Amino acid sequence: MLRHDPPPPLLPMPGETDVLRYIPLGVGVAIPPWNFPLAIMVGLVVAPIVAGNTMILKPSSASPVIAAQFMEILADIGLPAGVVSYLPGGGGQIGDLLVDHPQTRFIVFTGSKEVGLRIFERAAKVHPGQKWLKRTVLEMGGKDTIMVDETADIAAAAAGIVASAFGFQGQKCSACSRVVAVPQVYEPLLGMVAEQARKLPVGDPAHPEHFMGAVIDARSHAKILGYLDIGAAEGRLVLGGEPLPGPGYFIPPTIYADIAPDARLSQEEIFGPVLAFLRAPDFDTALVIANNTEYGLTGGLYSADPQRLGRARDELHVGNLYLNRKITGAMVGSHPFGGFNMSGTDSKTGGPDYLLLFLQAKTIAEKQI
């Protein structure tokens, strides 16, 4: 905000004093997800208030307690009452009310494509008493691909795929849910990924030795089990494929091979520990497959070929591209985060332009007398 506070330089007009000033938008609504209930929630709230806005925080109904504790911290540090208001509850009731309200100036949201599109559509409607077009900052889903060619370090690729696909049970919009590999490395890579994933400990996350815990709730558990049935019909089961015994909603790392590029397992966001392997006859086709979903959040390529790495920079249509490393774990300041197409409005949170989403520019031209 210190960078945006001083008026930026303008082209001088003879006989005038011209200034461009950034001012806040007004009252915003923050609707964060459950899967990063602290990090994303804090970002969605703090950036707008740093820019001078006031906020209503409507946390996910699956994770309201951390948001409530965050409100206590805001009070402890002396943030004036009313700058951030806490309003927990179900999205279908409270969320719609906040999005529709004529005094809501903007909505900042991270979550599913379905909910993001609902917000986008409802925010476009002008209600009686509304004096502005509402701004939406939406980060939605992903169907993220790691490509691997015959020049790649296969061991490094396997480790990056496993970390990207199964970290936090695959419950990340950035998670690797597809691997597209050329024939020369397809089977060796598949074997290495399956071998490493098979060794991942699954259990109570209170015990640090468990790499994977349970998925969030019964609804998510049922959805993922449905995709296990779809995968069994669309490809070859290599690992997993069955839920683990309870109590708890535990699903092991699951891998299906020989999935077609247009299959449901290749196109739909699962949000769970399910990985699809796709075979491409060559690098050109692999690049086409990597771009064949409606999403455009994260993607990656493992290759030692400088020309192919350059093509990925130019042609892989994702907001966050990773070369020869895992495709999750965006770091604030280093990897401004946000995606293209149905992955959202490409907010680039954690980057130099993020605060501009919560500001509006006012130009003042004064004739010298």
CA distance readout (Å), 227 to 245, 323, 343:
18, 29, 21
10 Å Cβ neighbour count for 366? 10
3-class SS letters over the chain: CCCCCCCCCCCCCCCEEEEEEEEECCEEEEECCCCCCCHHHHHHHHHHHHCCCEEEECCCCCCHHHHHHHHHHHHHCCCCCCCEEECCCCHHHHHHHHHHCCCCCEEEEECCHHHHHHHHHHHCCCCCCCCCCCEEEEECCCCEEEEECCCCCHHHHHHHHHHHHHHHHHCCCCCEEEEEECHHHHHHHHHHHHHHHHCCCECCCCCCCCCECCCCCHHHHHHHHHHHHHHHHHCEEEECCCCCCCCCCCCCCEEEECCCCCCHHHHCCCCCCEEEEEECCCHHHHHHHHCCCCEECEEEEECCCHHHHHHHHHHCCCCEEEECCCCCCCCCCCCCECCEECCECCCCECCCCHHHHHEEEEEEEEECC
d(CA 341, CA 299): 14
In the set 114, 150, 173, 209, the catalytic residue is: 173
173 is catalytic: yes
Cα-to-chain-centroid distance, residue 240: 26
In the set 114, 121, 139, 209, the catalytic residue is: 139
**Is 311 within 8 Å of 213 (Cβ atoms)?**
no
10 Å Cβ neighbour count for 242? 11
d(CA 157, CA 161): 6
Sign of CA dihedral 213, 219, 220, 226: positive
176 is catalytic: no
Give the residue numbers annotated as catalytic, written as ranges: 139, 173
